[in-house]
Structure 1
Amino acid sequence: MVVYAAFLGLGLSIGIVGPTFQDLAVNVNRNISDISYIFVGRACGYLGGSVIGGFLFDRMNHNLILGLSMLGASVGLSLVPFCKKAILLVVMMAVFGICTGILDTGGNVLILHIWRSEAAPHLQALHFTFALGAFLAPILAKLALGSAVPSENHMIADMSNHSELTLPPAADLEVIFGVPANKNLLWAYAVIGTYTLVMFAFFIVLFFKKIPNQEKAKEAAQKIRTTKYQNALLGLLFVFFFFYVGAEVTYGSYVFSFGTRHAGMSESQAAGLNSAFWGTFAACRGMAICFATCLQPGTMIVLSNVGSLFSSLLLVIFDKNHICLWVATAVYGASMATTFPSGISWIEQYMTIKGKSAALFVVGAALGEMVIPVVVGSLQGKYPHLPGILYVSLGSAIATGVLFPIMYKLATAPLHSKIQESRKSEDQKALLSTSRFNDEDEDDYGEEGAEEEWDKVDFEMIEMTDTMRNSVIETSRKILRESPTEISSHLLSNDTPFSSSLVITGNSPVKPLPLDREKND
């Protein structure tokens, strides 16, 4: 529940940038195309945070890492409205991106570790809370708090001149860092920053809570899954999430500006259009929690790709029709909703996902979030009369629609015999490791389901041991009957019960076992 609440804050943090984009431009006295590089800063931080989180989550306490990431996100987000320089705003967005990258990677890995094969609906619930936060962000920014920015400031923000505006004489500190004139901008970021700070406190409480060692035993008991083209599949998933997340974040961030500048909507209408996208996005993810229990992840991905392609095509054709914009935006948001969690659930069926693998997916998403918004910002700056955001959305939908059939073909390719034998060996190691954890932590188990699981493992281990022991005893008896005089004086060591160090004498083709070993057995 704490991770779900943290992802709600993540959605609020990501979604607040779109409706406050023009306000941030006014705050730093730049136009929209000039400050589009805040997406680069946030995505670069997101990229670095994803890589860092992928390594840390395999080595450190999950709750501590998530708590520290929420603390950093709270600080960075709260300082964003105070930035009076574009470069400082980019830096703050980068700090915020590092923390959210760690949170995104860690949240997905933690849900997979807890639920494993049953993780599909729980992943949908996790990303539903993110979408819910993104849906509430425009309401918080524009509808609940309102807009106090004068119309002339918006005219300044929309000027085509890319140079910094002339400011009245002021102290250097005030020019770089100061209280924003728009108090609603300040309150919007302050509320979200306070919320993430509360999440930090919850994670710290969980950090000091004692966690039984049975979680390690359950992790060791999991079978190691792999595919024939594992590296190629990971690379294609990297590209797949690059286009998907890039299109999702870009549309959610630029649809407000697109509605006001290209479609001729008022601010309240554009904010409503933005909320329509995130609202259907969140609603469909909420329904996907139930759908994931009866539909395969691959089926949900195919349905999402078809819906994204159809709706983005309608947006391109009817780019100035308000009714079509509302309907197609709602369909586009619903179609984009389940792709990311379904993609993680789908690949988990074919290979084991750990921190590094999850980090690779989030890195691809971060690169998409970094590159695609910049492309759209450049298109809006150079060709203000063209709906660049819609063209990019259509291209991304085509790319994801083509990539998934290729990934499915690679994932379902039959394994080589050597890979199958290696996987069986890994499963046996996991079984032995599970038995060891069961012996050490027997007193910590209180659930009947866990006890029954360990009893089955112990029973299988006892059967394996008895079979091997009986085979050794029978072989030693045969040897003793056939050539008792050729027993070597070099006896078996007690530390290696199933290996022999006897010296063969005469013409005996076998290594006899000592008599006292038979008696002990």
Structure 2
Amino acid sequence: MKLLDGRIWTLFKLHWQHTLTYWSVFFSFGLCIAFLGPTILDLRCQTQSTLQQITWVFFSQQFFLLVGSSLGGLFKKTLLCSLSALLCCTLLISLVFAIIPLCNNVVLLSIAMAVAGKSMGVIDTIANRQLVKLYQKDSATFLQALHFFIGLGALVSPLVADPFLAEDSCVLGSNSSSSSDLEHLRSSMAGHGAAPHNISQYPLHTEGVVITRVAYAFWIMALINLPVPAAVLALMSHERLLPCSSKSPCLLEKDSLAGSNPSGDSDEGHGSLFGCCTPAKLKGHSFTFFILHVLGGAILFITDGIIGSYAGFIYTYAVSPPLLMGHKTAGCLDSIFWAAITLGRLAFIYLSYKYTAPRLLTFSLVGVILVQCLLMIFYTSCVFLFIGTCVLGLCISSVFPSMLAFTEDILDYKGCATTILVTCASTGEMMLQLLVGSVIHSRGSYAFLLCCTIASFIGFGLFLLFLYVEHVHRNSYAGKEQMDTYKDIEWNCNYNRH
């Protein structure tokens, strides 16, 4: 059997330049999201700040990623403005990589990470939305590939940084910390966006001569990222969108929400985050239309929150009782988890072509629950923790792209589903990490598994409710279409009679 049938391959050949461009900007997203954890101790030396101060850059990046995801919905649905936004954001990411070595205090570094986070959020929303708009009912396969490139970028970034990381204290003239302490701290802070909650026991000095080579890593990543804005620029040139016309404003004016789309697609509600959920927009839709947005966002809030929490705290759990793994061994768990997610998204490119989104989502969410329960049962087994981490990454990898494609298909690509789902996912990734971290700090490391398992059950329960509401929505929509058809026939009969 061929990997892709003629229809999918024909669609790809028709839109290959757009598709490869959106995939490349997600590589840029992944490249940016993964570098902070491994390099944070060298950045602490560069800024001569304490560990408590430097962890604020995690919050800065995550918070403004959420802001950027919301702002992505403010861009008008013209190809010109979407590509212009992607061009600016990918250029900003390269610029941030280039200037990070010049940030000599933690405030400047936090501002740079805020700019990067905002750019990442805008990329997240626009690339997902444009790909869904491009392929519509066939978007599931291409969305799986899109999210594979996040994982690819997240794998490349630490590999680039690793040769330039300090093995000992990078501040001379002070009592150096042992290399094992530095390795432990770096692994603790390597989760994507997670910061350790008990770092005061590792007093790293801030005064002295700073010796670090991490600047070379950032400059290399800036160069690696430069082909991405070049690809966006090439696409704009191919579509004859250069230069940007002042007659096509990229941000919606308040009175332009009802403006028509040049392509003829229905874009109602895309102008703002909750534009399609206002009373004026809901007049033409049933109440289930609104509920589907809420449930879809809640499911991704939970599942992306699980991903962020697991990546952020699996190392802390592994080095704590009863497992008490070595620092180096436990440090591999986060990399294995993200490698499994990347591999899973690659596999689901094919599976999303063969099976429907509801089947894939059911399989994935049930798999996540089973793995979490088994991890709780075999909580003393180091071997099973590695196996469970790998299987969990494979199972949860496809939830976001499958849920996005399924929700947009149910809602007939009419509204702001993409913006809402992306924003809810970013919110969950940030908020659940804070919640789980607080529980671990007060209740111990085992609470980490308990929190993730409870969240898995909640996510599956919300998905079952989503399927029920989807069934009601389809029935009501079909009934409305039949009623409209009946009214048209009745009007024609009356017209002909007169």
Measure how far apart 1:270 and its partner are.
Answer: 3.6
Measure how far apart 1:74 and its partner are.
Answer: 2.2
Measure how far apart 1:121 and its partner are.
Answer: 0.5
Alpha-carbon distance in structure 2 between the residues aligned to 1:317 and 1:82? 49
Counterpart residue number, 2:62: 43
CA pair 196-347 structure 1, distance change in 2 beyond 3 A = same
Alpha-carbon distance in structure 1 between the residues aligned to 2:366 and 2:167? 41
Residue 375 of structure 1: which of 430, 435, 444 is its match?
435
Query: Cα deviations across residues 174-212 of structure 1 (Å, max 9, x unaligned)?
Result: xxxxxx7332x4344333333223211221222222359
Residue 415 of structure 1: which of 476, 481, 493 is its match?
476
The yes-or-no answer on 1:198 pairing with 2:217 is: no
Query: Cα deviations across residues 343-396 of structure 1 (Å, max 9, x unaligned)?
Result: 01111221134673311111111211221222344445556x524543332232
Residue 455 of structure 2: which of 388, 396, 400 is its match?
396
Mapped contact 1:36–1:374 kept (Cα < 8 A): no
Q: Which amino acid aligns with 2:130?
A: L
Counterpart residue number, 1:181: 211
Residue 229 of structure 1: which of 279, 282, 288 is its match?
288
Unaligned runs of 5+ in 2: 1-19, 170-176, 186-195, 242-260, 269-275, 277-283
Counterpart residue number, 1:120: 140
Alpha-carbon distance in structure 2 between the residues aligned to 1:295 and 1:227? 29
Query: Cα deviations across residues 416-437 of structure 1 (Å, max 9, x unaligned)?
Result: 6885379989xx9xxxxxxxxx
* Correspondences of 1:120-519 after superposition (within 5 Å): 120-142=140-162, 148-150=167-169, 151-152=177-178, 155=181, 160-161=199-200, 167-168=206-207, 181-183=211-213, 185-210=214-239, 216-217=262-263, 219=265, 228-259=287-318, 263-266=323-326, 268-319=328-379, 321-353=381-413, 356-379=416-439, 381-382=441-442, 386-413=445-472, 414-415=475-476, 419-420=480-481
CA pair 233-25 structure 1, distance change in 2 beyond 3 A = farther
Q: Which segment drifts farther, 269-278 or 304-313?
A: 269-278
Mapped contact 1:227–1:351 kept (Cα < 8 A): no
Counterpart residue number, 1:517: none
Mapped contact 1:30–1:163 kept (Cα < 8 A): no
Residue 95 of structure 2: which of 75, 79, 83 is its match?
75
Query: Cα deviations across residues 27-56 of structure 1 (Å, max 9, x unaligned)?
Result: 556676765543432222112211221120
Alpha-carbon distance in structure 2 between the residues aligned to 1:33 and 1:221? 45
Counterpart residue number, 1:55: 74
Alpha-carbon distance in structure 2 between the residues aligned to 1:196 and 1:355? 32
Mapped contact 1:2–1:199 kept (Cα < 8 A): yes
**Count of paired positions:** 418
Measure how far apart 1:398 and its partner are.
Answer: 1.9
CA pair 378-84 structure 1, distance change in 2 beyond 3 A = farther
Measure how far apart 1:91 and its partner are.
Answer: 3.0
Mapped contact 2:316–2:445 kept (Cα < 8 A): no
Give the 3-state SS of the residue equivalent to 1:48 in structure 2.
Answer: helix
Measure how far apart 1:154 and its partner are.
Answer: 6.5
Mapped contact 2:77–2:267 kept (Cα < 8 A): no
Measure how far apart 1:165 and its partner are.
Answer: 6.5
CA pair 106-141 structure 1, distance change in 2 beyond 3 A = same
Alpha-carbon distance in structure 2 between the residues aligned to 1:140 and 1:148? 16
Alpha-carbon distance in structure 2 between the residues aligned to 1:284 and 1:334? 5
- State the identity as a percent: 22
Mapped contact 1:119–1:345 kept (Cα < 8 A): yes
Give the 3-state SS of the residue equivalent to 2:422 in structure 1.
Answer: helix
User: Normalized against structure 2, the TM-score is what?
Assistant: 0.72
CA pair 229-258 structure 1, distance change in 2 beyond 3 A = same
Alpha-carbon distance in structure 2 between the residues aligned to 1:186 and 1:354? 46
Query: Cα deviations across residues 256-313 of structure 1 (Å, max 9, x unaligned)?
Result: 4554566544554344322211111111111111111111101111111111112223
CA pair 416-292 structure 1, distance change in 2 beyond 3 A = closer
CA pair 379-299 structure 1, distance change in 2 beyond 3 A = same
CA pair 321-12 structure 1, distance change in 2 beyond 3 A = farther
Measure how far apart 1:410 and its partner are.
Answer: 0.7
Question: Between Structure 1 and Structure 2, whose CA radius of gyration is higher?
Answer: 1
CA pair 422-257 structure 1, distance change in 2 beyond 3 A = farther
Alpha-carbon distance in structure 1 between the residues aligned to 2:477 and 2:96? 49
CA pair 116-167 structure 1, distance change in 2 beyond 3 A = closer
Mapped contact 2:90–2:119 kept (Cα < 8 A): yes
Q: Which amino acid aligns with 1:327?
A: I
Alpha-carbon distance in structure 1 between the residues aligned to 2:320 and 2:211? 24
Give the 3-state SS of the residue equivalent to 2:452 in structure 1.
Answer: helix
Mapped contact 1:54–1:357 kept (Cα < 8 A): no
Alpha-carbon distance in structure 1 between the residues aligned to 2:484 and 2:57? 45
CA pair 123-271 structure 1, distance change in 2 beyond 3 A = same
Counterpart residue number, 1:96: 116
Alpha-carbon distance in structure 1 between the residues aligned to 2:32 and 2:362? 29
Alpha-carbon distance in structure 1 between the residues aligned to 2:357 and 2:143? 11
CA pair 227-135 structure 1, distance change in 2 beyond 3 A = farther
Mapped contact 2:142–2:349 kept (Cα < 8 A): yes
Counterpart residue number, 1:107: 127
Q: Which amino acid aligns with 2:74?
A: F
User: Normalized against structure 1, the TM-score is what?
Assistant: 0.69
